[in-house]
Structure 1
């Protein structure tokens, strides 16, 4: 049986509708901002704290919208799954790398839909669950509404 890490993650969009991804120092994969809850912290509290620490986005946890809970292969740890509670930060944001974040990258979802391919350096949670969920909810592949 694989080890499992519990994390919170957040979908954040910029004014152009691009999805924020981050790469932590010493790793090669891009993923959502987020991380492990601290003792006594709820998933939504962890999500809000991690957003502030990692990319400078300060939001009241009550404003985050639950998207769902998914299990996926951990991006940077062999033989490990993550159980990710994923939220969406309403509105649009600007972000900058802080704490353990080495790099941020905004994904143009419409371009990804047109190309039909995902970059090879995206975490499995994104490629297997979140991007298909966003596609289904917002019609990205059919040229539907902006996110």
Structure 2
């Protein structure tokens, strides 16, 4: 039987239209910043906390746009399905990986789709969404 995980993730886009991808320590797949909720947290509260923990950024609700929910396979956990709340935000600056993050990568969505090391959420939903509806 498959496990179910609920997560919140953010698509951070810079001034060049690139998306920020992150890779967690000990894993091989790139994904968006984000994670699992703590008890009682809403998806928005979760993503704001995770952005702060993983990237050191202070975002508010006004800084993020909700882009809906996606259900699909987890990137790094076998027999696991994720339900992901997706948000989009803008950031243009230098970042360093914090917490469990090992690597950060700014990349154009079209270029990212050519990679083999992407989480299913990113490859199957987020990147096609961004390419179809570019950031202004």
TM-score, normalising length: structure 2: 0.92
Higher relative contact order (CA 8 A, sep 6+): 2
Counterpart position of 2:69: 69
Which one has a larger percent strand, Structure 1 or Structure 2?
2
Q: How far did 1:92 drift?
A: 2.7
Q: CA deviation at 1:43?
A: 0.3
Give the whole-Å Cα distance in 2 for the aligned partners of 1:72 and 1:107: 23
Larger Rg: 1
| Structure 2 CA distance for aligned equivalents of residues 56 and 93 of structure 1 | 14
* Alignment gaps of 5+ in structure 2: none
Residue 53 (structure 1) aligns with: 53
Structure 1 runs, 4 residues or longer, greater than 2 Å off: 91-95, 109-112
In structure 1, the residue corresponding to 2:30 is in which secondary structure? coil
Work out whether residues 57 and 93 of structure 1, in 8 Å CA contact, stay in contact via their aligned partners in 2. no
Q: How many aligned residue pairs are there?
A: 135
Query: Residues 17-38 of structure 1: CA distance to partner in whole angstroms, max 9, x if unpaired?
Result: 1100100011010000000010
Structure 1: distance between partners of 2:15 and 2:62: 22
Match of 1:101 in 2: 101
Alignment of 1:4-19 (within 5 A): 4-19=4-19
Q: C-alpha distance in 1, partners of 2:32/2:76?
A: 13
Per the TM alignment, residue 110 of structure 1 is displaced from its structure 2 partner at its CA by 4.5
1:131 is matched with which residue?
127
List per-residue Cα deviations over 1:3-55 (Å, max 9, x = no partner): 11000000001222110010001101000000001001110000010001101
SS at match of 1:135: helix
RMSD: 1.5
* TM-score normalised by structure 1 residue count: 0.85
Equivalent residue for 1:143? none
